[in-house]
Structure 1
């Protein structure tokens, strides 16, 4: 056995001793990196995990604000826009001249649009991704607290005082994510994404099932073609703001472009990555749209114009309490996986920079395999251990101090949606294919750009209004009644 600075640490007996050895690369791809093993189904799982968040449960509220015609049309239109722009971006993974890979979204932007756009993309992308993991910490804690509250009401009666603190749940989730964050990269994240995707289908299906049962029983709410109606308790101005927020919620519900290239970088080289990624886009977006339509339409039919912001809360904390608890458990498990999917590009950005800065540092570059016996091993890198743990701790602290962060996340989503999902993919496509200004195709692409920009601006205004309300009632570390 050699010293700490040596190449190998090894103890032959694995029955009771710890074995540590430096990890080597047995098989590599054409770029010298470990061989990629992703396929259509792992890519689809990553995308579904990223797209279907707990926000799917707010789609009934969105459809209620817009009505049957505009609500359904908006779901279908933004599904088509997302699928189209994602396919454009998938074709940008490799350089058409050299075949060189672009490992990240920002690299695609830099190599096609220049350094200024690269910096703008990196800023928006990492702010958006960091905000997502903080928002997921808060959302997961809300679902865990809802389970405790539901069980309290069931055991002690509907009038019982069941105040719940979200803080212990945020801390517990943070501790779990510290361990999960040591998963080295997207290539090793497939199983977690598959589980998270299954969980997203599970709680969406429970919401749809409960809503359908309410409709079939004849207890559905009153619906209209144009959604909630202006009248007592709702001014025309408030109706307009709600419509803007609904447009924004539906548009953002399809967003995953900020991690599309990173997902594509997990795919095997054959068949060509762009072909597989386009198929994965179709599978994931089509599946997602079907669930979105069911949640939005059945939820609206069940609750009518008074549809709640969260479909599950509309059924109360009471009966069937066990089924709502199960749905909340699925939400938590999904968000645990989605946290890692959104955090991986942030982790990778810092680690890649450190490897370029200190290429000979063992602290930065060395991988050590730790475990009992060869069949049960864990790969450890000291930079990854310290940096990722610090990031998770910071995200958890922000979630604890700012429980209204979901309102900030709505603003970040509004600011990030248009450039990341629409503008950059379209501009990259125009630059690569040298499309002439004012040509028919150029005008069509710019029309999509303009429409989505208007939606993003309207949603940003609505989120600022919501943030202003949240700040007025903000109390740190508050225990919810």
Structure 2
């Protein structure tokens, strides 16, 4: 036990996450088995984060989608895709440990890298960036619709509650989904231009009662520019159902189905052409076909709307 404790203390001492070594026996409540700070999330906080991330702008088009499918096909499709998402989430959770070292992967991309290799990570990164940027636009579209929609007026209190709910959701969700894009751009810029004071220098601003705020001019300028651009794009392309449908189709299959299935097959070494392998591939292929069909339908809808669309104008 003493040797194990000493070894763990040495590992923690060289871990950049910690400034000083910690006694494992005394501080076991604060670190996990990888020597990193324990996550403090609970079922409630996790559920709140999932609601913020998943129940986004797309849910606003759910009523329209159900109306197109009808009372029979609509619920069936909802239950089917709920099951697929739940099942692939279980597969994904089983792949967050490195198959060789057994250490936990802390990001989606790290899990893909450890199970499928660097080439797949590039594809994953491209899809995530396309999806994150698109979701940001989708959030702005939802906000615009909540403010300018004229197709439904009564009862007014219901519309006001709906608008308030959307704003509350967007404030948190926009931040959650924008942070990875901010981090990617700022990290890349710092690497490419390490000597640029505009990019790397922090201006310390003392704030009474708060402390010192580090203002970075590059972050201020580029993040403001990003919000303006996504807002303008959402105003120019207010085809809510079609845009959200296309973005959802673009990201759903690779991120929710393809990568979890392929990672699970690689980590568990599922034999090719076995019953389980065939079952997993059928799920992946089926969702791909549906996603392509949904994307094609969304593009067709956008094309039709462009024929009668006038930028920055709403129709009553």
TM above 0.5: yes
Q: Does 1:424 align with 2:259?
A: yes
Q: Using the TM superposition, give the Cα deviation of residue 36 of structure 1 relative to its aligned residue in structure 2, in angstroms.
A: 5.1
Q: Using the TM superposition, give the Cα deviation of residue 451 of structure 1 relative to its aligned residue in structure 2, in angstroms.
A: 1.8
C-alpha distance 75-89 of structure 1, shift in aligned 2 (>3 A): same
8 Å CA contact 1:404–1:474 kept in 2: the answer is: no
- Which residue is 2:126 aligned to? 123
For residues 123-160 of structure 1, what are the alpha-carbon distances to aligned partners after superposition, in whole Å with 9 as ceiling and x for unaligned?
A: 121111101111211220110123xx5xxxxxxxxxxx
Q: Does 1:388 align with 2:223?
A: yes
Q: Does 1:139 align with 2:142?
A: yes
Q: How many residues align?
A: 290
- Secondary structure of 2:100's counterpart equals coil
- Secondary structure of 1:473's counterpart equals coil
8 Å CA contact 1:93–1:103 kept in 2: the answer is: yes
For residues 8-27 of structure 1, what are the alpha-carbon distances to aligned partners after superposition, in whole Å with 9 as ceiling and x for unaligned?
A: xxxxxxxxxxxxxxxx9879
8 Å CA contact 1:129–1:343 kept in 2: the answer is: yes
Q: Does 1:443 align with 2:278?
A: yes
8 Å CA contact 1:46–1:341 kept in 2: the answer is: no
For residues 290-347 of structure 1, what are the alpha-carbon distances to aligned partners after superposition, in whole Å with 9 as ceiling and x for unaligned?
A: xxxxxxxxxxxxxxxxxxxxxxx6xx313x2122222122112212322112212212
8 Å CA contact 2:57–2:138 kept in 1: the answer is: no
8 Å CA contact 2:253–2:288 kept in 1: the answer is: yes
- Which residue is 2:295 aligned to? 460
Q: Using the TM superposition, give the Cα deviation of residue 115 of structure 1 relative to its aligned residue in structure 2, in angstroms.
A: 2.8
RMSD: 3.2
- Secondary structure of 1:42's counterpart equals helix
Q: Does 1:79 align with 2:82?
A: yes
Distance 1:422 1:125 in 2: 14
- Which residue is 1:58 aligned to? 61
Higher RCO by CA contacts (8 Å cutoff, separation 6 or greater): 1
Which of 103, 108, 112 is matched with 1:109 structurally?
112
* Structure 2 runs not aligned, ≥5 long: 1-16, 21-29
- Which residue is 1:67 aligned to? 70
- Secondary structure of 1:461's counterpart equals helix
Q: Does 1:326 align with 2:173?
A: no
Q: Using the TM superposition, give the Cα deviation of residue 415 of structure 1 relative to its aligned residue in structure 2, in angstroms.
A: 2.0
Q: Using the TM superposition, give the Cα deviation of residue 106 of structure 1 relative to its aligned residue in structure 2, in angstroms.
A: 2.6
8 Å CA contact 1:407–1:470 kept in 2: the answer is: no
Distance 2:250 2:46 in 1: 26
Q: Does 1:373 align with 2:208?
A: yes
8 Å CA contact 2:252–2:291 kept in 1: the answer is: yes
Q: Does 1:345 align with 2:189?
A: no
8 Å CA contact 1:418–1:456 kept in 2: the answer is: yes
Q: Does 1:97 align with 2:108?
A: no
8 Å CA contact 2:57–2:139 kept in 1: the answer is: no
Distance 1:369 1:129 in 2: 31
- Secondary structure of 1:97's counterpart equals coil
Distance 1:352 1:393 in 2: 21
- Secondary structure of 2:310's counterpart equals coil
8 Å CA contact 1:135–1:406 kept in 2: the answer is: no
- Secondary structure of 1:438's counterpart equals coil
- Which residue is 1:400 aligned to? 235
- Secondary structure of 2:96's counterpart equals coil
Distance 1:95 1:436 in 2: 20
Distance 1:41 1:362 in 2: 42
- Which residue is 2:50 aligned to? 47
8 Å CA contact 1:137–1:399 kept in 2: the answer is: yes
For residues 184-220 of structure 1, what are the alpha-carbon distances to aligned partners after superposition, in whole Å with 9 as ceiling and x for unaligned?
A: xxxxxxxxxxxxxxxxxxxxxxxxxxxxxxxxxxxxx
C-alpha distance 355-77 of structure 1, shift in aligned 2 (>3 A): same
* Structure 1 runs not aligned, ≥5 long: 1-23, 150-312
